[in-house]
Structure 1
Amino acid sequence: MFEEVDASVVCKQLGLSRFGPTIKPHYLLSTYNGPSDVLMDSVECSGSEQRLIDCDNRNSTNIPCDHGEDVAVSCLQRRCVEHDIRLANGSAFEGRVEMCLEEVWTTICLESWNILNSRVLCRQLGYRSEGANTPANIPGPISMPIYSKQFHCSGHERRLFDCEKSGPSPPLCNHNHDLTIQCNSTRTSLFYSSSISSFSLSPSPS
């Protein structure tokens, strides 16, 4: 049976998001201009493959299928810049943290989160790191993916995704444990020097 993990590889190969693919039987399509032969059967992907042909499958000229068993896949468009951060359901400096992964917005699990992570996150958003905290949770939509790893920031990283990561997430990670952040409302100008791996912070011009 062709499953969602198999469809995710198709979407990835097409340069689209691997999250949230929809599998449709071929008869739902209005036209079919493909080859006359069925080329693959019993496809089993792990999700790490870059191309569908890299997945385990039965690939021969004697596949016992016809086009009545063809599948079609609907993929989501990429809608954001990789590893960007935004705050939802709050203000410019407070809200549920959402991160762009493969151009789909995901939430981040609060479990194992710490103050160093918060400081890096707030600086990435353009706010001073002092006083960053995690207020009451604002659950994300049930359909939104949850990032499956934990962050371990030293406090000097340029962006949250530059921090060391480990995974998978603890068992409690669900939308009732989505990360919500409150940053210092003072805006900053951020200058990063890769040669010394440090930050210089100065107030933004008024």
Structure 2
Amino acid sequence: MNVGQALFILASGALYGIFVIWARGLDAFLSNPALACLGLVYAVLTLAALFVGGNLSAGEREDRGNRWVLPVFAVVGLALAAVPPLDDAREISTFGGDGVRWFGVALFALGGALRLWPVAVLGHRFSGLVAIQPGHRLQTTGLYSVVRHPSYLGLLVSSLGWALAFRSGIGVALAACLIPPLLARIKAEENLLSSQFGADYDAFRARTPWRLIPGVW
């Protein structure tokens, strides 16, 4: 990971923290056990992201037509950072109690790990762009033998967990807004991999039919 990527990860983590403190207040946030645990999990995941690998390289071949999803992810991500804490503080669309909060914290931790684990497995093959990297090869074992896009599933689960930790109905809706750009990215990624690996990728899709949610999708 280069310095630019590391700075981006740290800046993103700091931005989420700023939004939470602005909306909830530091004392109110830390005094709630579930939210304090959420903050700890977020800090651990942010630090882990610095060491798992990945890149933003266009590699040898890139589907540049899919770059439109990046600003969409950025806008939804910023909204998720700010709206659920503010919703929780103002009780605009909140629901449930501490049980919902702890369930959200558990989902956030699970989704974060599911998001980062494939990055660690793929290493330099994992890019923020839809691209074929030098020496690229298919990954078909481990989590990839269950679902073809485990990192994207992790993103959805962690986003939903973040919203639930703040009991935010608006946050749940924002997490759902990630589905259309994720589906567009999956389509572009699978088309690129199919064109690169041909029959090998077709065989992988036949063995692992679930794109995003095992048993459902």
On whether the aligned pair clears a TM of 0.5, the verdict is: no
Higher radius of gyration, 1 or 2: 1
The two structures have a TM-score, normalised by structure 2, of 0.23
Between Structure 1 and Structure 2, the one with more strand by share is: 1
The two structures have a TM-score, normalised by structure 1, of 0.24
